[in-house]
Amino acid sequence: MIVINLDVMMAKRKMSLNELSERVGITIANLSILKTGKAKAVRLTTLDAICRALDCQPGDILEYRNED
């Protein structure tokens, strides 16, 4: 299972959903879907933009958890 830790990175950077939306150029609704883990996919260009805005690595946002 892939877990999205977007909210953790946003909190570390003290960035609101509105601010991240403006910096990345995607809607608040789409960011919310990603943040809550309801997204089925994420474009690499979107991940790149998020990492640039939050000054982080993809591994800071995406985490694999084994579901045994």
In DSSP notation, the chain reads -EEE-HHHHHHHTT--HHHHHHHHTS-HHHHHHHHTT--S---HHHHHHHHHHHT--HHHHEEE----
pLDDT at residue number 32: 94
Question: In whole angstroms, how large is the CA radius of gyration of the chain?
Answer: 11
Write out pLDDT tens, residues 22-54: 999 999 999 999 999 899 999 999 999 999 999
| Per-domain residue ranges of the chain | 2-59
pLDDT at residue number 63: 93
pLDDT at residue number 26: 94
| Record: fold of 2-59 | 434 Repressor (Amino-terminal Domain) (1.10.260)
**What is the pTM (predicted TM-score) of this model?**
0.90
